[in-house]
Amino acid sequence: MSTSGLRGRWAQGLQPRNFMWVIRDRLGAGERPGGFARNHRKVRRQEELIWLGANGFTRVVSLLDSPHNLHAYEEAGLISVHTPLGPHDELAARLTEFYATLDELLDDPAHKVFVHHEEFGDRLLGPLAGYLLHARFVELGPQAISIVEKLSTRSLDANGREIVAITLAESL
């Protein structure tokens, strides 16, 4: 989707709902562009994809179990990577894949990455806290949880904390 014919506010797009920086100017996160489930709106998705492109994002990492929106990212000129979290009993393997994907993308200074899940909740925030441990930005689970809670202004519940615990227990 080209933004060359758009002017004013439309050329800037709309920041994704609940957007936050995990690593300033390198790794951002938020709700799925366009919203989740019944609230998903195609026009809002287009506005948010315009914003991602206008703000220099080069990759979108989707943690959704389904491939929803992947075609829309391509149409918007954004390359997407699908790393679904999957069922509970596959979390360690799926987190390993997610962390490796972020490592590879963030090793290239040309990439600016946006990660999303359906909603802005534990299935997004838990893996991001786990990544802070994996990448050795912090050493302890409570530190990772505290940082993500401050950045997101939300508390991690049992599901998000379990993802951090798996990251530590499996030395991911």
Rounded to 5 degrees, φ, ψ at 60 are: -120, 125
Cβ 52 vs Cβ 74: under 8 Å: no
- CATH superfamily for 9-169 is Protein tyrosine phosphatase superfamily (3.90.190.10)
For residue 11, name the pLDDT band (cuts at 50, 70, 90): low
Residue 14, C-beta contacts closer than 8 angstroms, at least 6 positions apart: 44, 47, 48, 50, 51
pLDDT at 41: 83
Alpha helices in the chain (DSSP H): 9-12, 42-54, 70-75, 91-107, 122-134, 141-152, 158-169
Q: DSSP state, 1?
A: -
Tokens representing 132? 């802070």
Confidence of residue 69 (pLDDT cuts 50, 70, 90): confident
Q: How many residues does the chain have?
A: 172
pLDDT of residue 36: 78
pLDDT, tens digit, for every residue of 134-159?
999 999 999 999 999 999 999 999 99
**Which residue carries 């080069």 as its tokens?**
58
| Tens of pLDDT, residues 76-103 | 999 999 999 998 899 999 999 999 999 9
Domain-wise residue ranges, the chain = 9-169
- Laid out side by side, the sheet with 113-117 consists of 20-23, 27-31, 113-117, 59-62, 79-82
pTM listed for this prediction: 0.91
